[in-house]
Amino acid sequence: MIKQDIVHYVIERTGLPRTKAEAAVDTVFEGLKEALAAGDRIELRGFGVFSVRARKTGIGRNPRTGTEVTIAPGKAVRFKPGKDLHELKTEGAKKES
């Protein structure tokens, strides 16, 4: 699913014109990005939690030369699915068995 699929879904569900639906989706995404950039935790009940965690310094290898490369510390966005999503994943695994 891409952003345009979400816009189309909003149009179908609400009847909003495309420009307003795109503006709404863009506004939500901008708000999420700003919150994560500020290090805030985003909790969407029934969906999941987005959080920013520190990533420590590591050592990697250049695949071409094999030389060691130091990976600088940084931050990474993590997603933990909520109960409803977790149950979907579990149900899908049970059906495949």
- Region 23-27: what's the mean pLDDT? 98
Residue with tokens 């816009």: 7
Q: What is the dihedral of CA 55, 59, 62, 66, to 10 degrees?
A: -160
Q: In this structure, what token pair is assigned to residue 30?
A: 């901008």
Residue with tokens 């503006």: 23
How do the domains of the chain map onto residue ranges?
1-37, 41-97
pLDDT computed for residue 87 by the predictor: 83
Question: Is this prediction's pTM over 0.75?
Answer: no
Rounded Cα–Cα distance for residues 16 and 27 (Å): 15
Q: Which fold has domain 41-97?
A: HU Protein; Chain A (4.10.520)
Q: At residue 33, does pLDDT exceed 90?
A: yes
Chain centroid, CA 32 distance in Å = 9
- Region 13-24: what's the mean pLDDT? 97
For 42-90, the pLDDT digits (tens) are: 999 989 999 999 989 889 999 999 899 998 999 999 999 998 887 876 6
Q: At residue 32, does pLDDT exceed 60?
A: yes
Query: Parallel, antiparallel, or unpaired for β 48-55 and 58-61?
Result: unpaired
Rounded Cα–Cα distance for residues 11 and 15 (Å): 5
